[in-house]
Amino acid sequence: MSFAPGQPPTRVILEQPGGWSRWSGRLAWIVAGLALLVAVVSAGANAEYFQTNPKVIEQYHSLAETATDKVAIVDISGPIMGGEGFVRHQIDQIEDDPAVRAIVLRIDSPGGTVSGSDELHYRIGKLARERDLPVVVSMGGIAASGGYYLAMTSGGQDETIFAEPSTITGSIGVIIPHFDLSQFLKRFDITDDSFTSGPLKEMLSLTKDRSPELAEREREVIQGLVDAMFTRFKSIVKEGRPNIDDETLTKVTTGQVFTAHQAVEFGLVDKIGFLEDAVDRAVALAGLSATTARVVRYQQPQGLLDELVGGRATARTAGSLQTLVEWTTPRAWYLCTWWPAVAASHH
């Protein structure tokens, strides 16, 4: 590089950042460090709030938000099918959570299958006995048949079954639905010519044209099954409501539904009350108070597809073959409805 005669050379001066620039960088590191410290402390102090079960989300519901001991509300809504449904996931969550001291069953169900109702009754009862957990029932709009069956997990303690003023309950009984389409098919010259290992293998078939003798034989067999299941249902009611005498038990086990006030009169329900009343009773039975109990409720996680395009409805549509199988599979139901197969396909 050349310079004009007598012109001083150009100098490049590299200056250090000013005081504010230095402090802004340090301040960012300080804030990040404090945030990390707060996160670590919060994780240690509130570890119970972190979700460990991917099938259940625990949420605060009421009373003391920072209390350690919990009263868990278990929601039972819609048809009761048993198996690996959301009710089962809620039970599993409580089994793994030693902080739960009492259970409130929030039942809004017309019932369901005999096997599903009995399975959940067993699992809830077993959990309550092993952990010495009081169970209090809060009935919603309907707690009938299998829904009432599950209410018996309260164990017969005083003031443990609450029904809202508009609740419908009862429907204590068993149904095995059967539809005979054989005469309809005859109009189109269609005959069920299935091969079976015995004459009773096709019991409850929709399409089999039976002789009067075979039809009567099938009816005796099926009625025997219904009677056996009904006897168990009545024994469960007797265990759960020990103050009901045999005469009253006969009156309330005709399959009839009752209003909440009628149910109280017959002894099927203890009191008219809402969810908060059941919660207060559970808190008292657990030896807790409004300042020492945190009431929690569980939610079913929603996937992105569920929220955006209704993934569950799409899945149900895709399972049309499964729906057809449900329609044609003989099942026994503790259910207050005239078409159990439809209820099953929409669970």
Catalytic residues: 145, 201
- Residue 337 pairs in a beta bridge with none
Task: Give DSSP secondary structure letters for 100-164.
Answer: EEEEEEEEEE-EEEHHHHHHHHHHHHHHHHHHT--EEEEEEEEEETHHHHHHGGGTT-TT-EEE-
Interatomic CA distance for residues 342 and 347, integer angstroms: 9
Interatomic CA distance for residues 340 and 326, integer angstroms: 9
Radius of gyration (Cα) for the chain, nearest Å? 31
| Three-class DSSP category at 297 | strand
Q: Positive or negative, the Cα torsion across 112, 117, 120, 125?
A: positive
- Residue 272 pairs in a beta bridge with 163
The count of C-alpha atoms lying within 13 angstroms of the C-alpha of 257, restricted to the half-sphere facing its C-beta, is: 18
Task: Give DSSP secondary structure letters for 15-79.
Answer: PPP-HHHHHHHHHHHHHHHHHHHHHHHHHHHTGGGS---TT-EEEEEEE-TT-SEEEEEEEEES-
Categorise residue 269: left if φ over 0, alpha if ψ from -120 to 50, beta otherwise.
beta
Interatomic CA distance for residues 80 and 178, integer angstroms: 20
What token pair was written down for 150?
């599950």
